[in-house]
């Protein structure tokens, strides 16, 4: 049961990060501010989606059926790919 709640928390936090980043992006576009005036980092929407996918994988892993097992694998793969793209972007930016 704890996996479900950890997954739900990850999913909600990831969705909140994604929404926060999107609201900030829309607000900066509406005001005409340059992209360098961002308060939040540009990788935050992807990080939110990766965290949400990780939460969805954790929640779906609590179900025993085959379709949920396949869903768990797919959500985890999406999460891993997004985390790797974030890591690669950070390493390229610092090199």
* pLDDT tens-digit series, residues 11-37: 999 999 999 988 887 777 777 766 666
* pLDDT tens-digit series, residues 57-79: 999 999 999 999 999 999 999 99
> SS3 of 65, please?
coil
Q: At what angle do helices 44-60 and 2-31 cross, to 10 degrees?
A: 160
Whether 40 shows a pLDDT value over 80: the answer reads no
**What pLDDT was estimated at residue 25?**
77
> SS3 of 42, please?
coil
**What pLDDT was estimated at residue 35?**
61
CA-based torsion, 39, 43, 45, 49: positive or negative: negative
Report domain extents, the chain.
2-94
Say if residues 14 and 55 touch (Cβ distance below 8 Å).
Answer: yes
**What pLDDT was estimated at residue 36?**
61
């Amino acid at each position: 049961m704890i996996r479900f709640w950890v997954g739900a928390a990850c999913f909600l936090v990831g969705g909140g990060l994604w929404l926060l980043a999107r609201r900030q992006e829309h607000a900066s576009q509406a005001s005409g501010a340059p992209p360098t005036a961002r308060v939040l980092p540009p990788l935050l929407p992807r990080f939110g989606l990766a965290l949400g996918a990780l939460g969805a994988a954790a929640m779906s892993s609590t179900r025993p059926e085959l379709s949920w097992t396949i869903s768990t694998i797919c959500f985890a793969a999406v999460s891993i790919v997004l985390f790797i793209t974030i890591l690669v972007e950070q390493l390229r930016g610092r090199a």
